[in-house]
Structure 1
Amino acid sequence: MDAVLEAIAILATFENVGLLLAGTAVGIFIGAMPGLSVNMGLALLFPITFSVGGMSGIVMLLGIYCGAIYGGSITAILLRTPGTPASAATTLDGYPMAMINGQPGRALSISTMASTFGGVFSTVCLVLFAPMLAKVALQFSKPEYFALAVFGISMITSVSSGSILKGLVSCLIGLFIATIGLDAMSGLERFTLGTLYLSGGVSFMPILIGLFALTQVFVNVEDAYKNEQKKQNIKIDNVLPTWADFKLTLSTLLRSSCIGTFIGCVPGTGGDISSWISYDQAKRWAKDKSQFGKGDPRGIAASESGNNSIVGGAFIPVLTLGIPGDGATAIILGALMVHGMQPGPLLFVDHAPDVYAIFIGMMAANIVMGIMGFSLIRLFVKVVNIPRIILLPIITIMAIIGTYSYNNSMNDVLIMFAAGIVGYFMYKIGMGVPGVIIGIILGSLAEQNFTGSLMMSDGSLSIFATNPICAVFLVLSVISLLSPLYKGMLGKMFKN
């Protein structure tokens, strides 16, 4: 109890509270800007921790981390441009609710509620179950990572709103893109066209921005050319989610937060994987699936609670084992070590007040993020009221700047435009882009861990069957892929 009181005393200073507020606000801005990733924001502001020192700098980084993940949903909902890869799944229902159904305030309020819920839930799990969940995370080796990636790929049958076949084709396109570059085992070049740029693989961020942001720009330009566009003047009366929306999404919030917390504590995963899996499971468990992809509140809640709940989960291996779960926690791990806190079991003994300060700071960051989100919804919605003749060039410029700043490469900008053109034609033939994103994200993870698993077993495939966790994930993957088939057969049986 003394350690908790000491932790509160550490945080309850004007400087620390101010840094927490500033860090969260900056994080939301970074997350909302396409091309500015969570890792980039943390890396850019990391040097400030040297000037403010100790726990003050850590608190600021926690605010940036929490705020940036939530911030990606703002442009995902209003502009169909995910600010971060973790918010890509939010576009599936967030944008239709905001622009097609004319309810941007409702979409943003559900997103803010879900983000806050997921962040607080995972922080509570961090406090209560850190040692136990860390032991589970340690059971994951290359076969388990491969099975987890395959399970993620199998959910394409759920996120494909139209033809399952077209969804599988789009996923295969993503898997092909993931193979471009040097082979991890042999070092041979694959589909590089003899260029040095492609030898390192295709950057993910330009493709993400091109498929979502630029594709939507092309579609809107076409609509504006065909139809006279009236000036929009969308207003909102309530910035808080309704009780009906909360009841509708409660089970989804709990399920997705559990998924996100677990995935977060497995090193090497992240919010993008968590959001897609959470969305997939929300759709599978829903009795009425017809509204998914058309503005269903459960789709927004699943994605946002799933990606924000990785925050607490990702800190479990960091604090208990000194193993970063992703790039963001690796930066924060470095900050802890720089300021004299060596993560590991002894951290809870030697620096107990600091550990509790991290717990309380993370909880406060999520609450502040929620308060800021609800307070600024009316300001966010003003983006929708900007005339398209002004908004579309702004989106295009943001996309170009964000893409270029990611690697300071014009080649990335060209890739973005190519992805935008491909995405436009995919839109015209009814082939959704989520499959491409899933294939790119999970393709590399699956390939690397598949080859690594074979090296562990001297080329024997039995390693995937004899490992219990791996076997369970692979069985679930088969069930997921075949679900359209047996659901159709069951439907015919019940009709007869």
Structure 2
Amino acid sequence: MGFFVDATTAVFAVGPLLAMFGATLLGVLIGALPGLNPVMAIALLLPLTYSMEPLVALAMVAGIYNGSMYGGAIPAILLRIPGTPASIATTFDGFPMAERGEAAKALKVACWSSAIGGIASAVALMTMGPLLARVTLFFGPAEYFWIAMFGMASVGVMVGSDAVKGILAATLGLLIGTMGIDSLSGQPRFTFGQTWLLGGPDLIVVLVGLYALPPVLQLAEKCDLRGLSSAQLRLESVPFAKGELRGFVPTWLRSSFIGIGVGILPGAGGNIAAFLSYNAARNASDEPETFGKGNPQGVAAAECGNNADNAASMIPALSLGIPGNVVAALVLSALTIHGLQPGPQLFHQNPVLVGGFMVEMLLTSVLILLVGGVTATRMFAQIQRLPGVLLVPSILVLMCVGVYVINGRPIDLWVMLLAGLAGYVLEKVNIPLAPIILGMILGPMAEQSVRRALLISRGDPTELLTRPLSAVLAFATLGMIVWPMLKLLRGKRKL
């Protein structure tokens, strides 16, 4: 734990501090604009981080992530339009409060709740992450292989409504990850004679296409020609009544624990944490009938729960290489860009960098209170008056410039377009995109680990199951795949 001192010193340099402040402001703005989301913003940001210091790049990721999760509450409260999927539960009581003239109060409750949930989540990451990393010291190649397989299986099964589609998506990512030169034998695979494929498809190019282009196409489909009127965005600052904040403490504590627990589960996400926190607050209330009619406790529970998921989702990502959600997968991509290998060895090889990112998640949560007050919120709310027809071409230009500057190759633009169209179609048929990226990240790790294990055992495949820890991980992976299929078969028999 001593590395946190060095990490904190590194974070309090000019570059990371400016990056956190600016990225948090940008994140609130992104969350406030319907059609934009933190996944899309971070995907657009990653190509621009090549020339940055790793701590500066991760500071921007942390700021955009935490800021946008709060920013999503702005349209959810004012217009009953969730800025992010995790803000759906915020509309239940936030919009009724706005209808009766308490929009500013609802936004202030959301701001405080988001900050407290994010702080609790960051503290959990700083305490649980290093402890989990110590366990990984006992891991060998076989354990790394099963960790990678468990990560792909868990996210493939838990993301989306259909486990079979999730597994298919993870398999597709695995196949894409095999393209390029084999790291052990040096032989090219599936390059089709194209030299630019020798290093495999660029992860960031594919990621920007999959995650950034489909939302832009969906925004273009709506063809929004008119923005919102100024009357819809009129806000007046209302201070908290004396002792009112104390009434939110039980809700914040309960929602923080729920959000952290959900965040650790791969694939669950902030929307699930928000719904569970909201239901828990309603069940614990003496007046459950007031929920859905403008109860501030509902806003506090939803916003605290979805922000408590943020840093908690990084616990399995940084310790085991298994991202808890899509943004955690993007953080692993950011580490890969800067030559760092996500997974169990990350804490031991780069403790200052990992500790610095944890501190940045904590500080950007605190910054929400400083930059997310009603004054800043009022300013960002006005941006929603921009029509969608202006946003679409602006975002497309940023995407093309960001992708082109990575390698300076026009072919990357075509790869981005192909990945974006594929992502658009896959979303239409309800195939999740997160397992594809996860397969590209964890696939090479799984392949190299299993081949190393077989080299050590001289080709004996039982070596993958002889160690107790590897056997446990193998059965957990099998159970993660088989159990949803058994449930599906039982459901079909009942029908």
The interval holding the TM-score normalised by the smaller chain is 0.5 to 0.7
Matched, 1:37 2:42: no
Task: Tell me: CA distance 1:173–1:158, structure 2 relative to 1, closer, same or farther (3 Å).
Answer: closer
Match of residue 305 from structure 1: 311
* Residues 76-475 of structure 1: pairs in structure 2 closer than 5 A: 93-94=85-86, 113-124=116-127, 135-156=134-155, 158-224=157-223, 231=228, 246=252, 249-255=255-261, 259=264, 276=266, 279=269, 300-301=306-307, 304-309=310-315, 365-377=360-372, 378=377, 384-475=384-475
Deviation at 1:135, TM superposition (A): 4.3
- Is contact 1:70-1:115 (8 Å) kept? no
Residue 62 of structure 2 contacts residue 360 of structure 2 at CA under 8 Å; is this kept in 1?
no
Amino acid at match of 1:117: A
Deviation of the 1:215 alpha carbon:
0.9
Q: Which secondary structure does the structure 2 equivalent of 1:36 belong to?
A: helix
1:313–1:154 CA distance, 2 compared to 1 (3 A): closer
8 Å contact from structure 2 (residues 166, 435) kept in 1 = yes
Distance 2:278 2:479 in 1: 20
1:462-486 C-alpha deviation (Å, 9 max, x unpaired)? 1221122222222111111122234
Aligned equivalents of 1:364, 1:439: Cα separation in 2: 29
How many residue pairs were aligned?
A: 404
Within 1, Cα distance between the matches of 2:127 and 2:85? 28
Q: 1:114–1:305: 8 Å Cα contact kept in structure 2?
A: no
Deviations 1:236-277 (CA, angstroms, capped at 9, x unpaired): 8899997687456433444367x5xxxxxxxxxxxxxxx845
Alpha-carbon distance in 1 for matches of 2:69, 2:406:
18
Q: Relative to structure 1, is the Cα distance of residues 194 and 480 closer, same or farther in structure 2, using a 3 angstrom cutoff?
A: same
* C-alpha displacement of 1:461: 1.4
Aligned to 1:432, the other structure's residue is in SS state coil
Indicate whether 1:25 and 2:21 are aligned: yes
Helix, strand or coil at the partner of 1:37: helix
Q: Deviations over 1:152-185 (max 9, x none)?
A: 1111454343333322322222121111112233
Summarize the Cα distance change of 1:447–1:65 in structure 2 as closer, same or farther, 3 Å threshold: same
Asked whether the equivalents of residues 69 and 308 of structure 1 are also in contact (C-alpha less than 8 Å), the reply is no
TM-score by length of 2: 0.63
CA distance 1:110–1:420, change in 2 (3 Å): farther
Q: Report Cα offsets for 1:331-377 as digits up to 9, x if no partner.
A: 799xxxxxxxxx999xx9xxxxxx9xx98x87864443122234434
Q: 1:145 to 1:102 in 2, by over 3 A?
A: farther
Q: List per-residue Cα deviations over 1:68-109 (Å, max 9, x = no partner).
A: 334246568979xxxxxxxxxxx9833766999998979987
Query: Structure 1 pair 177/362, CA: closer, same or farther in 2 (3 Å)?
Result: closer
> Amino acid of the residue matched to residue 168 of structure 1?
I
Q: 1:308 to 1:95 in 2, by over 3 A?
A: same
- Is the partner of 2:52 in helix, strand or coil? helix
Correspondence list, 1:49-68, <5 A? 61=55, 65-68=58-61
CA separation of 1:330 and 1:408: change in aligned 2, threshold 3 A: closer
Tell me if the contact between 1:403 and 1:413 (Cα under 8 Å) persists in the aligned partners. Answer: yes
CA distance, structure 1, for counterparts of residue 424 and residue 93 of structure 2: 22
The Cα shift of 1:147 comes to 0.7
Inter-partner Cα distance in structure 2 for 1:484 and 1:288: 27
**How far is 1:402 from its partner?**
2.2
Q: CA deviation at 1:390?
A: 1.1
Contact 1:34–1:399 under 8 Å retained in 2: no
Compute the RMSD of aligned alpha carbons: 5.3
Is 1:480 the counterpart of 2:475? The answer is no
In 2, the alpha carbon distance for the partners of 1:417 and 1:163 equals: 26
User: Unpaired runs of 5+ in structure 2?
Assistant: 28-37, 73-82, 96-105, 280-301, 321-331, 341-346
Q: TM-score, normalised by structure 1?
A: 0.63
